């Protein structure tokens, strides 16, 4: 029955499980093409265990090139202006800047976009 304590508890457990899976995915990091002014560079993208930032940098994560605070994310959009493969790309939008990424495949794009939406509370 909707609204019962048992269904609310199940929904909470399901949401916690989704958040945990999302955190595990993005904390491991993945390589993406990151676009800036129409040009792209391969960057490792990851979220630290504090889940307060989306970071990008060197493949070994030792050098951070930049970040966006997760609290500043306003929305997500499929595709990005620099990518010639809109089905593999997405944009993380904030008031001050956008993070344009192109995944290696559609599965990676979908998993990362869904995970980041969960962690940024933009589902």
For residue range 26-37, list pLDDT tens digits in order: 999 999 999 998
Question: 19 near 119, Cβ under 8 Å?
Answer: yes
Distance (Å, rounded) from C-alpha 38 to C-alpha 27?
27
Burial class (CB in 10 A: 0-12, 13-18, 19+), 106: exposed
Rounded distance between C-alpha atoms, residue 84 and residue 88, angstroms: 9
CATH number at 30 reads: 2.30.29.30
pLDDT band at 4 (very low <50, low <70, confident <90, very high): low
Structure confidence at residue 122 (pLDDT): 82
| pTM reported for the whole predicted model | 0.88
Residue 110: domain span: 5-119
* CA 58/CA 80 separation, integer angstroms: 22
pLDDT of residue 3: 56
Q: What is the mean pLDDT of residues 6-22?
A: 87
5: pLDDT strictly greater than 80 = no
Q: Rounded mean pLDDT of 15-35?
A: 94
* Count of domains for the chain: 1
- Would the CA dihedral through 51, 45, 24, 49 be positive or negative? negative
Length of the chain: 123
% of the chain residues with pLDDT over 70: 94
Residue 57 has pLDDT above 70, yes or no: yes
What mean pLDDT do residues 14-21 have? 92
CA distance 91 to 75: 8
Query: Integer distance in angstroms from the first to the last C-alpha of the chain?
Result: 24
């Amino acid at each position: 029955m909707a609204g019962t304590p048992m269904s609310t508890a199940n929904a909470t457990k399901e949401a916690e499980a989704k958040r945990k899976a999302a955190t595990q995915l993005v904390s491991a990091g993945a390589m993406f093409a990151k676009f800036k002014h129409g040009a792209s560079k391969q960057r490792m993208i990851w979220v630290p265990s504090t889940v307060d930032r989306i970071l990008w940098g060197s493949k070994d994560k030792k050098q951070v090139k930049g970040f966006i605070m997760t609290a500043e994310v306003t929305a997500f959009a499929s595709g990005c202006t620099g990518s010639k493969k809109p089905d593999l790309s997405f944009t993380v939008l904030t008031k001050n800047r956008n993070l344009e990424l192109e995944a290696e495949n559609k599965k990676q794009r979908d998993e990362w976009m869904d995970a980041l939406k969960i962690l940024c509370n933009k589902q």
